[in-house]
């Protein structure tokens, strides 16, 4: 793909002349009828047909963004693939996208972070002709002005994969999520209305299971957003629900369109999800500790992590994507610490794998021996999604840090490092904390550059009790007794 992706559907889905395009979008937005007091959404679900068909329905959503002009600086757009079949989620290699209204830069640092974390692949063929993303850009240019773009095409992917991606890009008020989808296709007018009404009801219940394959062409990203919204306690509002028979087409074969706005809970910032994580973990802390210990026991007896399976009836928090660090200590000395900064697989899988790796694959230590179990302490830190920080300089960054509360990820070029909130116990002073994290990343204490990035997160810590649980599980594993997560009570 060229460095700048050219407009592929200008002149067909929307006008190719800038003046005409601006006039058409302004007309749609002017008819949307939103009030200045309406809250700004965190995410939108919008259609992607030709503007004469779906433009008014999309405008009902985009008009909500007017008060956020200058505040929203990054937009993540997910839409279905109409021309290329593939599994997973795909970014592109372009540096910018062009429309008749100008050029929008791709946030390459975010795209590279997603690819490094294996949350997306790179498939330029999926982006080259795809209209589901492109038709959103002129609307965004009209309402937001300057912003950077993260365009992702969805192939065949599970909701959990989309949730993991959304967690990685969620950010704060500077980031907007757009999900592009049409609804039913080529039904008669009345049947379309009935079908789309059921789909709309399911979307507004955040019911991912009720969206069948024919409910929406963007079913994959829609289901992912709904799952993320339910986990985050978001609310949703229908803004418009019509079809092409209501706008510019005949009524014998119509396509359905809807737009929705999703809002984060009032007063909650993305970095403050800790209470929600604590509540969700509830009574499964002991299960996670036993699972981590069982995985280490399996490593000692079989040389591999404890196999885990997401089964029906498993508590939802265990099956949902989770990011954890597993830490092993002997006395006051670290014996191993391995984890995931981004949730991209079921929590139970992340715990089992990272416990095994902390014991046997941490490159700083030799593999754990059986005779070390007697005084080995194990803890699990379940992480909230990292939130990018905005700061003017290093002093500004230091002032924003909350000792004892924030975990921190820093990044500058290829250098990257993470400290858990528990690290404040050893490094209680802000400057010391940051300097040691720089050292961990291979940077000098005095290093600073314009490319320096930081993101913070919080964690819920679960500790091993009683202290001999590892020895007990090793003995059980040696006898062939199976241990691991249990289904939820029925």
Asked whether residue 259 falls in the same domain as residue 343, the answer is: no
- Cβ pair 402, 454 in contact under 8 A: no
Q: What is the CATH number of the domain that holds 37?
A: 3.40.830.10
Does 70 map to a domain?
yes
pLDDT for the residue numbered 468: 62
pLDDT for the residue numbered 173: 84
Helix crossing, 18-30 with 51-62: angle to 10°?
60
- Return the structure tokens found at 37: 């007091």
Q: Average pLDDT for residues 97-108, to the nearest whole number?
A: 96
Mean pLDDT score of the chain: 89
End-to-end CA distance of the chain: 52
Q: For the chain, what is the domain count?
A: 2
Q: What is the CATH number of the domain that holds 406?
A: 3.30.700.20
- What are the pLDDT digits (tens) for 355-395? 999 999 999 999 999 888 888 899 999 998 887 788 889 99
- What are the pLDDT digits (tens) for 122-181? 999 999 999 999 999 999 999 999 999 999 999 999 999 999 899 888 877 889 999 999
Does 446 map to a domain?
yes
How far is the C-alpha of 167 from the C-alpha of 161, rounded, in Å?
10
Q: Average pLDDT for residues 99-122, to the nearest whole number?
A: 93
Asked whether residue 263 falls in the same domain as residue 275, the answer is: no
Does 485 map to a domain?
no
Does 31 map to a domain?
yes
pLDDT for the residue numbered 338: 96
The residue segments making up the domain with residue 312 are: 271-478
How far is the C-alpha of 404 from the C-alpha of 383, rounded, in Å?
14
Asked whether residue 215 falls in the same domain as residue 333, the answer is: no
Asked whether residue 71 falls in the same domain as residue 203, the answer is: yes
Q: What percent of the chain has pLDDT over 70?
A: 91
DSSP SS3 for 390: coil
Asked whether residue 323 falls in the same domain as residue 444, the answer is: yes
Residue 328 has pLDDT above 50, yes or no: yes
Asked whether residue 458 falls in the same domain as residue 343, the answer is: yes
Does 489 map to a domain?
no
Candidates 453, 455, 457, 358; CA nearest to 414 is 453
Helices and strands (H and E) in the chain: how many = 17, 20
Q: Average pLDDT for residues 420-435, to the nearest whole number?
A: 95
Q: Average pLDDT for residues 452-479, to the nearest whole number?
A: 75
Asked whether residue 237 falls in the same domain as residue 304, the answer is: no
pLDDT for the residue numbered 71: 86
Residue 422 has pLDDT above 80, yes or no: yes
Asked whether residue 362 falls in the same domain as residue 242, the answer is: no
- What are the pLDDT digits (tens) for 471-485? 666 666 555 544 545
Does 117 map to a domain?
yes
pLDDT for the residue numbered 272: 43
Q: Could you say which of 215, 247, 268 is where a domain stops?
A: 268
Asked whether residue 164 falls in the same domain as residue 54, the answer is: yes
How far is the C-alpha of 195 from the C-alpha of 184, rounded, in Å?
7
Residue 320 has pLDDT above 90, yes or no: no
Q: Which of 158-167, 179-188, 326-335 is modeled with the greatest confidence?
A: 179-188
Asked whether residue 275 falls in the same domain as residue 264, the answer is: no
Does 463 map to a domain?
yes
Asked whether residue 256 falls in the same domain as residue 398, the answer is: no
DSSP SS3 for 234: coil
Residue 259 or residue 171, greater confidence: 259
Angle CA 319–368–356, to nearest 5: 15
Residue 470 has pLDDT above 90, yes or no: no
Does 490 map to a domain?
no
Asked whether residue 189 falls in the same domain as residue 335, the answer is: no
Angle CA 438–440–444, to nearest 5: 40
Q: Could you say which of 242, 268, 294 is where a domain stops?
A: 268
Candidates 340, 47, 55, 65; CA nearest to 175 is 65
Length of the chain: 490
Q: Could you say which of 210, 244, 268 is where a domain stops?
A: 268
- What are the pLDDT digits (tens) for 9-63? 999 999 999 999 999 999 999 998 765 557 899 999 999 999 999 999 999 999 9
Residue 280 or residue 136, greater confidence: 136
């Amino acid at each position: 793909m060229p460095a700048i992706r050219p407009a592929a559907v200008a002149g067909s889905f929307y006008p190719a002349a800038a003046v005409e395009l601006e006039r058409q979008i302004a007309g749609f937005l002017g008819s949307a009828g939103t009030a200045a007091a309406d809250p700004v959404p965190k995410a939108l679900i919008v259609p992607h047909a030709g503007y004469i068909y779906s433009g008014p329905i999309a405008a009902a959503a985009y008009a909500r963004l007017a008060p956020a002009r200058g505040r929203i600086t990054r937009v993540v757009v997910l839409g279905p693939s109409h021309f290329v079949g593939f599994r997973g989620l795909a970014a592109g290699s372009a540096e910018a996208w062009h429309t008749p209204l100008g050029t929008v830069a791709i946030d390459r640092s975010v795209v590279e972070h997603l690819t490094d974390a294996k949350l997306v692949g790179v498939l330029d063929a999926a982006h080259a002709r795809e209209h589901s993303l492109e038709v959103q850009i002129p609307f965004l240019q009209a309402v937001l002005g300057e912003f950077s773009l993260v365009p992702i095409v969805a192939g065949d992917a599970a909701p959990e994969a989309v949730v993991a991606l959304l967690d990685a890009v969620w950010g704060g008020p500077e980031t907007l999520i757009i999900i592009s989808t049409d609804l039913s296709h080529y039904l008669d007018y009345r049947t379309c209305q009935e079908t789309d009404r059921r789909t709309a009801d399911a979307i507004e219940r955040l019911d991912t299971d009720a969206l069948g394959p024919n409910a929406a062409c963007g079913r994959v990203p829609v289901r992912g957003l709904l799952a993320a919204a339910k986990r985050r306690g978001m609310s949703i509002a229908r803004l418009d629900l019509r079809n092409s028979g209501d706008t510019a087409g005949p009524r014998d074969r119509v396509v359905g369109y809807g737009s929705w706005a999703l809002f984060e809970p009032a007063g909650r910032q993305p970095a403050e999800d800790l209470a929600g994580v604590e509540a969700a973990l509830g009574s499964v802390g002991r299960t996670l500790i036993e699972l981590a210990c069982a995985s280490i026991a399996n490593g000692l007896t079989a040389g591999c992590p404890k196999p885990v399976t997401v089964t029906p009836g498993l508590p939802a928090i265990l099956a949902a994507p989770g990011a954890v660090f597993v830490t092993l200590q002997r006395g006051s000395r670290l014996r191993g610490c391995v984890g995931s900064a981004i949730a991209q697989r079921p929590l139970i899988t992340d715990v089992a794998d990272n416990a095994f790796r902390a014991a046997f694959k941490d490159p700083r230590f030799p593999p754990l021996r059986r005779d070390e179990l007697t005084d080995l302490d194990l803890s699990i830190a379940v992480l909230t999604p990292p939130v990018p920080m905005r700061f003017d300089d290093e002093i500004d960054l230091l002032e924003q840090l909350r000792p004892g509360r924030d975990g921190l990820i820093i990044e500058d070029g290829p250098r990257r490092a993470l400290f858990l909130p528990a690290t404040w116990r050893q490094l209680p002073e802000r400057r010391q904390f940051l300097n040691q994290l720089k050292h961990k990343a291979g940077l000098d204490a005095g290093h600073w550059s314009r490319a320096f990035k930081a993101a913070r997160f919080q964690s819920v810590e679960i500790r091993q009790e009683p202290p001999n649980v590892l020895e007990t599980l090793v003995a059980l594993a040696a006898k062939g007794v199976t241990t691991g997560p249990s289904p939820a009570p029925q």
